[in-house]
Amino acid sequence: MIGTGSMSDPYMHCEEKLGLTKKCLEIISRYEFGLAIQTKSDRILRDIDLLDEINRKAKCVVQMTLTTYDDRLCSIIEPHVCNTKRRIEVLEKMRERGIPTVVWLTPILPFINDTKENIEAILNECVRIGVKGVICFDMGLTLREGDREYYYAALDKHFPGLKKKYIERYKNAYELPSPDSKELMALFTKICRANDILCIPDECFKYLGELPERYEQLSLFDM
C-alpha cells in the first residue's frame, strides 16, 4: 500500500495544471500497488476512474477530513477547500464505485465546533454513506509554536474575544482538548460501534495498510 496526503494535500489548486498526482496514480495502477489517499478536495473526482482501477487490481482507500457540518462555519475554518457537504458527496460517489472510505474527524476546535450536535451530524452522515472507519485521536487540537500565533490571529479575526479564553484555559500547552472531550469521545465511540465502523486509530491504520487476501505480492524480479 502506498499512502499519500498526510502532510500535504495531493489535490492542491496547482494539481489542476500540473497533474502530478494523476501521473502518480497511473504508475501505481500500472504496477498494481494499493493506495491510501487523503484529501479535502473534490478534485479527486477527476481521477475516480483511476482510483476504481487501482481498487479492482489491489485496493484503494479514499480518506476525507470532516470537522464541521455547518457550511457557514466550515467556510471560516477551511476557506480554501470545498465544504463538508461536498466532501460527503465525494465519499458517496466513491461508495457507488465500491471504493472504501475512511474519515478523519480532526481537528475539533474548543468552543467552536466541539458540540454534540456537530459531532453527531457528521457521524450520522458517515453511517449513512457507509464509511469503513473514522479516525479521531481526541476531541481537540494541537498547537506548536508558530501554529499558535497563526491560530490566535485567526481567532481575533473571526471569533473576537475567544483568544483570551484559550490563553486562560490552555496557556502555551501543546494539546488543547475540548472541555467536553470525554462526553464527545463517548458519543463518537457509541455511534461507530453501533454501526460497525472502525473507530480505534490502530485498527483504522491496520486497515489502511492491509492488502486483500486475493492480492498477490509482486516479486522484485517480476517487475
Model's pTM, two decimal places?
A: 0.92
pLDDT in tens, 174-201: 999 999 999 999 999 999 999 999 999 9
What integer is the mean pLDDT of 89-112?
Answer: 97
Model confidence at 212, pLDDT cuts 50, 70, 90, reads confident
37: closest CA among 120, 102, 130?
102
Strand ranges across the sheet with 60-65: 2-4, 35-39, 60-65, 101-104, 133-135
Helix (H) or strand (E) holding 59: none
What does the mean pLDDT of the chain come to?
Answer: 94
pLDDT, tens only, 55-64: 999 999 999 9
Q: Looking at residue 42, what is its pLDDT?
A: 97
Alpha-carbon distance 95 to 99, whole Å?
Answer: 5
> Among residues 63, 6, 57, which one has the least CA distance to residue 30?
57
Distance CA 217, CA 210 (A): 12
